[in-house]
């Protein structure tokens, strides 16, 4: 991570801590992109998905633990904790349908999930989603039980996560613990988050 105040969050004691790397998210083989060579679009899809997951991990690290289960005034059903559980559980449902030769990760209990459990489970489901993406690329871009193709799989998955990240950031603001402008910027710095997962 770049050395800046933006690369920190708060732990339960309110102390500033550096954002953690997702422990179970795989990184592609580090390689500097040669801009004179054609892009491996299959690998680019995998790296895009891993970059998206890196942003999920960064967001969890930046959130104040005190608002993890607080109920946002504009939400009747979900809070931050249950939304991260939902993001992971939706992946598990897709994996159960489309990667039938492999058991999906265990779902999260929305009523009990902690920040550490969300962080670990999202990283694990990202690992398995990468395998689905890679298997689909090997199958000519076709995804079992999903139309039209692997590009739609990745775009839909990233859109789903980004939608809920937006909700979570809005709720954090409503609950009195907003992200700083520097922290919010880190969620938009796709090129930097991409380098963290690709080594590019």
10 SS3 class: strand
Q: Which tokens is 146 given?
A: 């999903």
Closest to 89 in 3D by CA, of 18, 26, 161: 161
CA dist., res. 30 & res. 154, Å (int): 21
Omega of the bond leading into 148 within 30 degrees of 0 (cis): yes
**Geometric angle at alpha carbon 52, from 65 and 133, rounded to 5°:** 130
Domain ranges in the chain are 40-198
- CATH topology assigned to domain 40-198: 1.20.120
Given a contact cutoff of 8 angstroms between Cβ atoms, the answer to whether 161 and 52 are in contact is: yes
What pLDDT tens digit does each residue of the chain (200 aa) get? Answer: 343 333 444 444 343 344 444 444 455 545 567 888 999 999 999 999 999 999 999 999 999 999 999 999 999 899 999 999 999 999 999 999 999 899 999 999 999 999 999 999 999 999 999 999 999 999 999 999 999 999 999 999 999 999 999 999 999 999 999 999 999 999 999 999 999 999 87
């Amino acid at each position: 991570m770049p050395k800046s105040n933006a690369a920190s969050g708060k732990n339960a004691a309110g102390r500033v801590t550096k954002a953690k790397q997702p422990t179970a998210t795989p990184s592609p083989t580090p390689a500097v992109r040669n801009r004179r060579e054609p892009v491996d679009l299959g690998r680019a899809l995998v790296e895009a998905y891993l970059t998206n997951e890196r942003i999920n991990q960064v967001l969890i690290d930046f959130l104040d633990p005190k608002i993890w289960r607080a109920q946002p005034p504009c939400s009747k059903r979900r809070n931050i904790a249950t939304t991260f559980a939902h993001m992971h559980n939706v992946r598990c449902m897709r994996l159960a349908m489309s990667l039938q030769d492999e058991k999906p990760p265990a779902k999260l209990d929305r009523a009990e999930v902690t920040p550490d459990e969300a962080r670990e489970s999202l990283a694990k489901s990202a690992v398995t989603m990468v395998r689905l993406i890679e298997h689909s690329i090997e199958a000519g871009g076709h995804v079992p039980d999903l139309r039209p193709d692997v590009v739609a799989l990745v775009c839909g998955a990233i859109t789903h996560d980004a939608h809920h990240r937006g909700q979570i950031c809005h709720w954090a603001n409503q609950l009195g613990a907003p992200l700083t402008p520097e922290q919010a910027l880190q969620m938009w710095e796709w090129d930097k988050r991409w380098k963290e997962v690709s080594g590019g």
